[in-house]
């Protein structure tokens, strides 16, 4: 066994540190003693050193299984920079280079060999491993083994099978994120039940977590980054198309950014990665492939344009911020519709995969919509208790603790919630329990005769989404526990049983639909910040213009547009075009009297106008706009246009709305005439002519639910285009 002093000397010689961090030394000693080892350390805690240092002092070559070919070169370059002999083998190499690395391993010249799991399954590779002197096997990013992990890779589940073909050596599995369920899955799959487990706290106290509702994300992101100019950041998106679009949008608006996704060739990915590491660019817009193994300590912000597929994924990605222990801001733009889209994307997967994915998605939705401390929720997810108290403040390092949500007295509700779990014999998941307590007699409920339970329908007056949030709070507060073996099933904890035996006053965070809460918050901000006197003058003017043209006032300019005018005081046609809901066409048609009014008001009252971030459009967006306009002019069916551009019908409608609401006249009547009954279309059209606002939810309600949302949107577009543009 190597002496403790020698380990410290190796640490200093190769890595430049005087002492080990956290439990690094314990992990290393356990591995050197020949024991299987399981390491769970958050990003930035020094996981890699736990296998890099032992590789230096053990005979032979350490085999490191790593999931991303694109990052192996980066990891090997880091080793070379430290004076450590390392290499990689993957499918991107030439045959001669591949064979040269293999020979170095056989000659014991390499201390670390990085391979992708796909390489392991090849017979020639297994033969090579049998001949080599392997000191130990390291499974990096071990969460990829588990179907319950955030980045599941089927190839990882074959690792144990392959390792059985080579000499028995110690195994070390490492991950930055693993829930109790994922940990169990990893251990069982690797057949490493004897492994010593080392867990470091998941808490990253320097990271600030904030969830924003996804109303107008692009201007928000540009404004945010311009407020953090010169700082490094990552923006995560789910699709390659969105990555390219946002990167281009940032560059057009004076923010140097590069895209990173699997669709780019390896040379471009490596170039963009190096640009980020060397600070030739400050922002990378990426799919989740970016960041694994990236050692950049000063990432100051991590923005999620799209909601991640799990809390585990969110933790892993935000963990790339503030690895030096300094400032790290994590902003996620959330819309429940994105959860629904992700759920639809799973339709081609097996039933078990769909169910697993759905559970992870809805846990993510609850995390976003909850009023509980973000940090406490996240740590609980990983089986770590942040505080014994039910509602603890993390020193204002999340939006919920910085701006506390409303609470309510919930003794009766908690009693009802726990009774529902108890009466269903603690054998079902939250979704089933909610169906019982809300009185939804679906097939599962009636099969088990849970519609006959005393608690059935007792909570029918509470919204399903609200129940999910309340149950989530009860799990976090340790009144309920999730069954590790049968994931998703909830059981009463000792604390929950004690509460049922002796109910007492308890507070929960009140549920409020996030979109409504955001709107109320925005309304409050607008009320506090916009010029009320100017706003009243603009309202009078808009009514006069509408009366003269015999159209509803909102067709001229909506109330949000007037509020924006009373906040930004636009005095040129260029500034006016950047007001919410106003574009070039609308500005040309209606702006003149409004500009005169605002100029006079600003001069008379000596107003100091704010400097506003103006978001410029990309050429690509202009090309898409032109494509849509041209095909609508040719009367191409809208569903065909969507198919040509590989987008959903809903996405196409969003683009058309943007064009129409900016003042461009578009005749989509041909499509409405082909797909809708004339009388029905006329009824919707007449509604908008008489309505005081063009809100879709109000329209659907007033029209008695007789029409689909798409039908209402189409006719609204026709109306705005014909009457207002």
More confident residue, 665 or 175: 175
**Per-residue model confidence (pLDDT) at position 527:** 44
Which of 222-226, 504-508, 523-527 is least confident?
523-527
Q: Which of 163, 204, 244 is nearest to 44 (CA)?
A: 204
pLDDT confidence of residue 146? 82
Examine the pLDDT at 689 and tell me if it is beyond 90: no
Tens digits of residue pLDDT in 93-142 = 888 999 999 999 999 999 999 998 888 878 888 899 999 999 999 999 88
> What pLDDT is recorded for position 390?
39
The model's confidence at residue 614, banded by pLDDT at 50, 70 and 90, is low
Residue 705 or 305, more confident: 305
> Is the model's pLDDT at 16 over the cut of 80?
yes
Cα gap 432→434, rounded to integer Å: 5
Return the pLDDT at 525. 46
pLDDT tens track for 372-413? 899 989 988 888 876 544 344 688 899 999 888 889 999 999
- Whether the per-residue pLDDT at 521 is higher than 80: the answer is no
Q: For residue 620, is pLDDT > 70?
A: no
Q: Which residue has the tokens 């020698």?
A: 6
| Banded model confidence at residue 149, pLDDT cuts 50, 70, 90 | low
Residue 4 confidence (pLDDT): 54
Domains (range + CATH), the chain: 4-199 (3.40.50.300), 207-400 (3.40.50.300), 406-511 (1.10.10.10), 530-604 (1.10.150.80), 619-724 (1.10.10.1390)
pLDDT at 541: 94
Average pLDDT rounded to a whole number, residues 511-527: 56
CB 133 within 8 A of CB 59: yes
Give whichever of 226-235, 385-394, 652-661 has the largest mean pLDDT: 226-235
Tokens linked to 374: 């973000």
pLDDT of residue 526: 44
**The Cα angle at residue 281 between residues 279 and 286, in degrees rounded to 5:** 115
Q: How far apart are CA 204 and CA 321, in angstroms?
A: 10
Indicate if the alpha-carbon torsion angle 309, 326, 79, 235 is positive or negative. positive
Triad 525, 527, 532: Cα angle to 5°: 140
Question: Which pLDDT score, from 0 to 100, does residue 530 have?
Answer: 76
Neighbours of 91 (CB within 10 A): 10
Highest mean pLDDT among 218-227, 272-281, 409-418, 648-657: 409-418
**Mean pLDDT (whole number) for 70-95:** 85
Q: What is the pLDDT of residue 517?
A: 56
Cβ of 264: how many Cβ atoms within 10 Å? Answer: 18
β-pairing, 207-213 with 328-334?
A: parallel
The whole-number pLDDT of residue 524 equals 42
Q: In what order do the strands lie in the sheet with 196-199?
A: 86-89, 112-115, 61-65, 134-139, 171-175, 37-40, 196-199
- Residue-wise pLDDT tens digits, 319-348: 889 988 899 999 999 988 788 888 888 888
> What's the CA gap between 694 and 646, in Å, rounded?
29
Quote the CA–CA distance of 584 and 576 in Å, as a whole number: 9
- Whether the CB-CB separation of 172 and 138 falls below 8 Å is answered with yes
The count of residues in the chain is 725
Higher-confidence position of 283 and 526: 283
**Mean per-residue pLDDT, 512-524:** 56
């Amino acid at each position: 066994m190597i002496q403790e002093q020698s380990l410290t000397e190796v640490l200093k010689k190769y890595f430049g540190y005087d002492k080990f961090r956290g439990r690094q030394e314990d992990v290393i000693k356990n591995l050197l003693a020949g024991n299987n080892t399981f390491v769970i350390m958050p990003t930035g805690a020094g996981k890699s050193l736990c296998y890099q240092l032992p590789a230096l002092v053990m005979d032979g070559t350490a085999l490191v299984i790593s999931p991303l070919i694109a990052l192996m070169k980066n990891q090997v370059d880091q080793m070379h920079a430290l004076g450590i002999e390392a290499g990689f083998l993957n499918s991107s190499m030439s045959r001669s280079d591949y064979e040269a690395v293999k020979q170095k391993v056989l000659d014991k010249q390499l201390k670390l060999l990085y391979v992708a799991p796909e390489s392991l399954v090849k017979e020639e590779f297994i033969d090579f491993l049998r001949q080599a002197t392997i000191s130990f096997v390291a499974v990096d990013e071990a969460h990829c083994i588990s179907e319950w992990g955030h980045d599941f890779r089927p190839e990882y589940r074959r690792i144990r099978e392959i390792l059985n073909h080579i000499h028995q050596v110690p195994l070390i599995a490492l991950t930055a994120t693993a829930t109790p369920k994922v940990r169990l899955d990893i251990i069982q799959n690797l057949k490493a039940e004897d492994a010593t487990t080392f867990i470091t706290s998941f808490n990253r106290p320097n990271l600030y977590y904030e969830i924003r509702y996804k109303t107008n994300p692009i201007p928000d992101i540009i404004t945010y980054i311009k407020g953090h100019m010169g700082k490094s950041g990552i923006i995560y998106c789910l699709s390659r198309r969105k990555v390219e679009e946002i990167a281009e949008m940032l560059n057009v608006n004076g923010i140097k950014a590069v895209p990173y996704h699997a669709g780019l060739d390896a040379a471009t990915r490596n170039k963009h990665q190096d640009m980020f590491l060397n600070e030739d660019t400050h922002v990378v817009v990426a799919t989740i492939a970016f960041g694994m193994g990236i050692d950049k300590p000063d990432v100051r912000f991590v923005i999620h344009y799209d909601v991640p597929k799990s809390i585990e994924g969110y933790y892993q990605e935000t963990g790339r911020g503030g690895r030096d222990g300094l400032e790290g801001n994590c902003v996620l733009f959330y819309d429940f519709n994105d959860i629904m889209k992700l759920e639809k994307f799973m339709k081609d997967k097996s039933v078990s995969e769909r169910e697993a994915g759905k559970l992870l998605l809805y846990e993510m939705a609850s995390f976003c919509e909850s009023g509980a401390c973000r940090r406490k929720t996240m740590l609980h997810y990983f089986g770590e208790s942040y505080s014994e108290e039910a509602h603890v403040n993390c020193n204002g390092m999340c939006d919920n603790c910085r701006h506390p949500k409303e609470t309510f007295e919930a003794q009766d509700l908690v009693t009802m919630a726990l009774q529902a779990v108890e009466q269903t014999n603690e054998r079902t998941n939250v979704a089933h329990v909610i169906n019982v307590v809300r009185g939804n007699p679906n097939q599962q409920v009636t099969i088990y005769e849970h519609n006959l339970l005393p608690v059935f329908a007792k909570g029918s007056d509470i919204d399903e989404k609200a129940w999910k949030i309340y149950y989530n709070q009860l799990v976090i507060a340790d009144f309920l526990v999730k069954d590790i073996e049968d994931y998703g099933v909830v059981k009463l904890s000792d604390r929950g049983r004690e509460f049922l035996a002796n109910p007492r006053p308890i507070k929960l965070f009140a549920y409020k639909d996030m979109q409504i809460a955001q709107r109320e918050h925005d309304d409050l901000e607008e009320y506090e910040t916009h010029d009320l006197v100017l706003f009243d003058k603009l309202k009078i003017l808009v009514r006069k213009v509408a009366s003269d043209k015999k159209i509803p006032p909102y067709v001229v300019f909506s109330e949000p547009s007037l509020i924006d005018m009373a906040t930004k005081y636009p005095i040129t046609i260029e500034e006016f075009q950047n007001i919410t809901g106003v574009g070039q066409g609308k500005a040309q048609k209606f702006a003149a009297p409004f500009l005169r009014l605002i100029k006079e008001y600003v001069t008379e009252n000596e107003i100091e106008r704010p400097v506003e971030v103006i978001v410029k459009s990309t050429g690509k967006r202009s090309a898409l706009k032109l494509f849509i306009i041209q095909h609508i002019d040719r009367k191409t069916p809208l569903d065909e246009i969507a198919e040509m551009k590989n987008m959903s019908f809903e996405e196409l409608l969003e683009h058309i709305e943007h064009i129409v609401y900016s003042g461009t006249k578009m005749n989509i009547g041909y499509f409405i005439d082909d797909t809708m009954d004339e009388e029905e279309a006329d009824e919707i059209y007449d509604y908008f002519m008489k309505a005081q606002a063009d809100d879709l939810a109000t329209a659907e309600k007033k029209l008695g639910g007789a029409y689909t949302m798409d039908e209402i949107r189409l006719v609204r577009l026709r109306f705005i285009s014909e009457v207002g543009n």
